Structure formats: structure tokens, C-alpha cells
Structure 1
């Protein structure tokens, strides 16, 4: 009896072992099949088209160029986009992942930006001549192929930034739509009701309601429509929708993070993502993509930032503003965050590279820019956002000395502003940038109301007080009896008592002030203009 019971127990254990082994084999085989499927999804582009004169590889963080293609080729034909089968870049941003793997920033490059495009390789192997002052998105269309020319766009970004692009990823409409569906939709926000005619201005009528004002969850075609719509919101331009695209990406990241490492959710997303991507050979396998994705897992939502390269309108196109843009590229190259922190640390040692403690960038200031500020033809309203008596009048006087027309002054409803805010209405972005030259570090944002308004904060009060004191001390030393200069007044030596602009290489504080974090309110700052 006892022997029989022992034999039965042994048999059950052996059977359970075989079942467990079989389960492991099936699971491993299934994972292997899935891995083969993901590998089979991935397309790569020809690296022979990369420039032979590239920036040197850095020792700091990684730079990944992400391009959204609006080609109608293949399954994209039913989703809208460009005419014909030629690939075009509808949106692009440079993602910088800092060396500490705890910070990341995505810098949007408007598609209408005027840039220099270096020689690029055509599909037939020949090379184009370099072009100057060409639209940024035209680089992707060199060769007029259905998949576009990612290498040419990468060469253009490297020439523009002086940064080496470690990887390039192209995502098409079909894949983007599938990814949003795979995560169960993304929460977005609309500043107003949007109609079919806003998405397609050639429709000839307003059409039906596409999106109702306010927060909602979108996926598939609706998600694609959200990131593409531009008419009827803000200034109606391509650059006007960039902030909504950044808000959408923030929402997508937030949704993926909220689901956690759940295979049931991640596998459909991985399948959709790999089917939609064309990547450089360095990311051309599921192993490589997974390794890169896992390197981002410790970055908190608040430390994922979105900004747009410093810009201004140039007629119907967009120009990059220097030296602000150059300072931005320099800060990324040095692995310094937009708020001045050293993020070049070696996490394996728990301290920044070289053993130095992380510290903020020096808040050094250069002399005022040599090019004078002219406000001719620009009208501005000024409000005092502090309890400092007469601050609005002081700012108004500085503006008038530079030719601005001041529509009026007054007190803001809320009077505890720490940072000066410049708000501009549709079509007034260029005027706002001109005004901002007199208020370094101001937060600039587009609003629905017309005109340009400056609400001065405590930063302006402090800077103008320091400038007045400095001017007064200078006057005393030279025997002057004319009194101290007021903010904005130019002295006889050509110097200005205004708060000065950031030195080249020092990142302007308004870049940090206008950045979006992945955990920000989805309804905040949704459009330029």
C-alpha cells in the first residue's frame, strides 16, 4: 500500500514536471515567435546616405531624431496626408536623452523652418548640391521616394545643431493611428470646437463637428486628426499646432506609463510601433529597440520636457533665432538641462561624470545686444503684476523710448507675479518677440485675445532697480548731476540700463519657462498665436 502511494506521488510529481517543462517550452517558443514577428516588422533605411562630415560622437547623452511622415503610400492612403506617394515629413523633433538617464527633452523643429540642407544622396546613388534657406521638411522629400529620405533629414539636423544624431526613427500615419488604439486612446484637450472644415480648408464649408471643446480621449483616426488640425485654432499655421502635438505626445507617454509593464498592453503597442517604424541600422532589431526603450524607464514624467527651437516668423516661413538656438544646442551638448542642471552624471557611480557635484549653470549676463530694439509700428498694453508702485509706468516709458506705442497701463487682477509675462494674439508672434528683447527671461505665450500685453513681474522690478542703481553709481563716479537712468534709457556711452540679454552659450530663461512637462495639464498652452 505504502509503496503504491509512493509510486503514485512520484508519478504525479514527474507528470507535473513534464507539464511545467512543456509550458516553459511553449512559452519560450511563443516568445521566440513574437520576437521574430517584431524583428520582421522593422524596416531600416540606407545608412550610406549619411554625411561623411558628421559631428563627432559625444560622450554625453543620446540624440534621437523622430520624424512623422505624411506619405499616402500603402495603408496610409485612407488616413489623409500628402498627395501622391512621395514621403514628406509632417513633424519632427530631436529627443535628447541625458547621460544620467533621468532627464529627457524633445526639441520640435517646425517643418517650415528655413535651414541649410547639405548634399544628400538620391535613391539612384547620386548626390544633390547643398541648398541654403530651404524649408526643413523638403530634406525628407529629396529623391521623391515613398519612404522619404531620413538620412537627408538627419544630415540637415546635424548641420543645424552641430550635434551627432545617434538614431533616427520615422513613424507613418498608419502606425501612429495603430499605436494610439493599442494603448486604448490618449487624453487630449481642445481650446474650442473644431469642425471638418478646420481639418480640410479646401472643403468649402464648415462641415460637421470634429471635436468638441474641452478634454476627451482619442485614438486611431481621431488621434491623427487631432495632431494634424491647424486651421481655426491659434494663428492657423503649421507652427501653431506644435504645442498641441507636444501635449499629445505627453499624454501618450503618460498613458503608457500608467499601464505599467503589462504584457497584454505592451505587446500590441510593440507590434503596432514596429510595424510603423523605419529606423537607422543601429535600431534595426527588436533587441536594440527594447534596450533603448528600457534605458528610458527611470525618467519621471516631470523630467520629460518638450520645447520648440527658438523661432520667429519670416513672412510665411519660420526663422531660427540666434544666439538663443545656439545656446540651446550647446546646453544639450554639455548635457545641461534647460533649467541649468548638470545631467551628465554616471548613474552607476551615483554622481556626475568626473566626480563633480551637479550645479546650476552660472547666471552670467552679457552686455545689451548691439542691434537696437525698434518698436516702430508695434502697440503694447502694460500691466503691473506686482505691488511695486509705478512699475507699469516704468516699463511703458522704456517701451516708448524704443518706439513702441503704449495703448495703456494698469494693474493686473493678480498682483503676485514673479515672472514677467508677454501675451500675444493671432498674427502677433513676431511683435511679441521684439517686445521680449526688452524683458529678458519673460514667459511668452499665445492667447485668443488680440494685441500684445506685457504683465511685469518681480523679476523686472529687481532688474530695473539694479540697473538704475548701477547707472546712478556710474553717473556719480563721472561727476554727472543728471541723476540715475531709468530702465530702458540708453546712456551717453551707448550702454543701456535695461536688463540685458543672455550671453551666447547661456540658455535664455524663457526657454525653460515655456517648456511643457509630460505631467502638465493637457489643456494648458495648446497653440501659438
Structure 2
């Protein structure tokens, strides 16, 4: 899958002996953050010669021909952290040299068209998704897989290098967004990166022992991290981001929170050191030695050109969120329609706080205002609504249902009302549901709210809604659900905040 472009004179990697036993079953996650850092900080012509020979590409022939259309509303970069044991990585992560390539962490980085904002959406490795047809090493294509863990996409073909094209196909299928570039980072790239910057400040919510890193130990072992802030680099940084057990509920969800905090802290460290050749050359050199990218970023000039377009994104405008999720047994299920609302926001180039970050805004534009007559964003997360067409206008209920979904409401069904001479739109609600009904009414300017004895919320559409296109809430696309926006981390947040789940 990989290796279509790589310098023959690449320096060999020296092995590093482990200072304590490391379990082969513990997966690596935060390596994905390395490529994000390169994308946000690299960017000077003097890097070209040294970096160009470091970069490896994977074959584009494995990328699906059935893709979402390209868009001018920003760009999307899939960043994958792999626990592959090839090319010297076994000395960092344990395991067996012949293990297949696996992805452990992935996020979709959306860079807004204004080139002043970015958001990284983490996709949990255990998320149940549909994996579309993917290319195998022998040239054949697999059949579609349903309800399969997301990280299985990278392992399609069972090769040590993995299958990044299949992961890209899966993300496009999941999100409906076109992935413009894909970047894969391994163990040693992450470890060397943290050493190149002189260490990164992290924080622990509690003391951590060897058993927290290796749950197969019979005793808790020595303390490896003390509670509170500290600086880590190399193998110690790798141990930090791989800790899963013994913190919160011991799940990958908590580890994602700590990994997001780590990447934020890494970005902050690079910014504080200054973007100059002395600090950035060893940093970028360490990272690119372990990058595998799509052909569109397969040379230093392409990578640097893309990176230079991101130099004005500051820490506060760099956000980290997680795909809306819930537990489904031992796995993770996508929460609908919250996930669709998030993807719609990115597709419309709206930031988490509702700003229109499209390319047409200049530096003085500030937060964008809705178009005339547009409905402000409403959070309908957790509210179920049935929609009835109280007019003779065909397709009105479907149009209103789409608008409600854009605001996060769950539409339980659409139908034709018994009475079809409705003038105003009416929101009917059952006992204890007035607050929810009033939220639904915000989506339909001029709607009336009415209590009934029957449980549930009904939207009965009137002629006013049919006649006034400016009252249609679909004129404001991409409202991010409150739960997603409220849970976001900024790259300038306190490194000790929000570090565990459960």
C-alpha cells in the first residue's frame, strides 16, 4: 500500500531499549497529533531539501471513485495514528515485528476557508461504522462491511503498512465530506517530535502506576507519573498518551480527552518557542521521517505550501471535539442526528460557535450575520418531533423535517394533517413538554405553541410557512449541537482541565 515515494538515503533509526515492560496489546493513539503539529507549524522554503527525502506516500489507486464532491468551504485532512511495528517502531511500542498495521487514533481536521479557524474531530477507534469497498494488495476490492469497528478499515488487507486509503474511504462514507488529504504517523515520529521540542507539559488527574499502562501485571508496580502538571518527552511522552486503565472509567474515551489535551499543549509549546528555522527544522525533520501521506502532499513543497496556508490559525481558534457518540455494549455507536448536524456545520464552513468562516469574509468581517429572515441556531438535541402538513402544498412536511434536523431535532415521522386549511404553524405539546415545544417554535417564526392532553410534540405546518421562504430555517445550515460545542477544547485551554471520562 505504501512506498510509492521515499528517499533511498533515509537515515536508519536507532532502537531504544524499554525501561520497563510494555504490553503488546496496548495501542498507540496520539501519534496522530504529530501530523497536525506539522501541518500547523511547518512552512518555510529552507526546509525543502532536508524534508523532501523523508516523506513516504501511499497509493492513490485505493481511494474510492464514489466520493463526496470537492468543496470551496475549507479543506479536510484525515490524520491517523498507527501502532505499526515496522521501521523501528517495535522498540517504542512493544509487540511483534510482523504485526499487521492498525490505526488507534484518528481525527478529521477541518481547516476553514478563512484560514483563521480549525477543528479536529476525533473518531473513536471502536466506533461502529460501515466500511465501503476497499482495495486489497492483490488488486481486488472487498465487499461492503456493516456495523464494523472503525479501526478495522486500516487493517483491511492485513499488511504491516496498513491501508490508509480504506480509512479515508470510510471517513468519507461516514461524514459525507471529501477528505482532501490523509496523513499517517507512527510511534517513533511521535517520540522524536516531543524530544525535538524539548518536552511537552502534560497533566495527570491522579498518580499513575505501571499497572495502569499494562493491566496484565499482577501488582500495581512502580509509580510512573505523579498527579499534576509535568513535562514529558520521548518514551515517557508515549507512555503518557497510551495510558488508558486506572483513570476515569478506563475507556478509550478518556484517553482521547488526554490526547487532545496533549496535542493542544504541543501546539502551545511550538508557538511559544517561536516559528523560526532553529526550532522548526529539527521538529519537522523528526516528524516527516515517520509520515506517510497521500500523493497530494507527497513532497516537501506540497506539504509546506499547505502548511503555510495555516499559519494564521491561533491557539484559541484551534478546537478539539469528539464525534457524537454513546456506548453500545463494549463498542461505540454514533449518535444521530447530532453527528449529521456536526458534519453539516463543517460542510457549510460554520465554526462551533456558529460563525460563518467562509472565504468571502475579509479580516474585518468578524462573526457572520445570518441572511435576512434566517432563523438563529437552535439546539434541538434530545427533542423528538412529529411533523404534519396542514396545507395542500406538496412536500412541505419533508422540507420542515429537514430544517428541524439541521437544528439537531429528532423527527419521528412526517404525515398529512387531517385538517389542511391551517393558516399559522402550531406546535402542540403534551404534559411537561412546554420548554421543548418552545424550542421547536423558534425554528418556525410566528408559530403558536398550544398545550394538549396527548404526550409528544407535533408541528402542524400552516400556509404562512409555505408562503414565506425566508421563514424556512434551512436558510441557516450547520447548527452545531450544544453538547458538541460545549465539550470542545481549545488549544489554549488549561492542560489540567477535562482529562478523564467516567
TM over 0.5: yes
Q: Return 5+ residue gaps in structure 2 as ranges.
A: 1-43, 387-408, 411-431, 443-447, 459-472
TM-score (norm 2): 0.72
Q: Judging changes above 3 Å, is the alpha-carbon distance between structure 1 residues 347 and 220 closer, same or farther for their aligned structure 2 residues?
A: farther
- Preserved contact between residue 73 and residue 86 of structure 1 (Cα < 8 Å): no
Q: Does 1:272 find its partner at 2:233?
A: no
Distance 1:477 1:285 in 2: 60
Q: Does 1:249 find its partner at 2:210?
A: no
1:342-491 matches, cutoff 5 A? 342-346=356-360, 362-364=376-378, 368-369=383-384, 463=435, 491=452
Distance 1:200 1:231 in 2: 8
Distance 1:517 1:507 in 2: 16
Partner of 1:378: none
Partner of 1:145: 159
Could you say which structure has the larger radius of gyration?
Answer: 1
Q: Equivalent residue of 2:343, what SS?
A: helix
Partner of 2:194: 180
> 1:358: how far off?
6.8
> 1:204: how far off?
2.2
> 1:36: how far off?
3.0
Q: Does 1:333 find its partner at 2:347?
A: yes
> 1:477: how far off?
10
Q: Equivalent residue of 2:332, what SS?
A: strand
Partner of 2:40: none
Distance 2:218 2:140 in 1: 43
Moved over 2 A (4+): 31-37, 81-85, 345-353, 356-361, 363-368, 462-467, 493-497, 502-507
Q: Judging changes above 3 Å, is the alpha-carbon distance between structure 1 residues 264 and 133 closer, same or farther for their aligned structure 2 residues?
A: same
Q: Root-mean-square deviation (CA), in Å?
A: 3.3
Partner of 2:3: none
> 1:292: how far off?
1.6
Partner of 2:489: 516
TM-score (norm 1): 0.68
> 1:308: how far off?
0.2
Partner of 2:466: none
> 1:238: how far off?
1.5
Output one character per residue of 1:29-73: Cα deviation in whole Å (capped at 9) or x when no partner.
xx9996333111000000000001010001110100000001111
Distance 1:69 1:174 in 2: 11
Q: Larger RCO: Structure 1 or Structure 2 (Cα < 8 Å, ≥ 6 residues apart)?
A: 2
Partner of 2:39: none
Q: Judging changes above 3 Å, is the alpha-carbon distance between structure 1 residues 87 and 466 closer, same or farther for their aligned structure 2 residues?
A: closer
Q: Return 5+ residue gaps in structure 1 as ranges.
A: 1-30, 372-436, 439-459, 471-475, 479-484, 486-490
Q: Does 1:44 find its partner at 2:57?
A: yes
Q: 2:105 aligns with which of 91, 97, 103?
A: 91
Q: How many residues align?
A: 391
Distance 2:80 2:335 in 1: 22
Q: 2:307 aligns with which of 279, 282, 293?
A: 293
> 1:495: how far off?
3.1
Distance 1:181 1:40 in 2: 21
> 1:202: how far off?
1.4
Mean Cα displacement is larger for which, 45-54 or 361-370? Answer: 361-370
Higher helix share: 1
Q: 1:164 aligns with which of 178, 202, 226?
A: 178
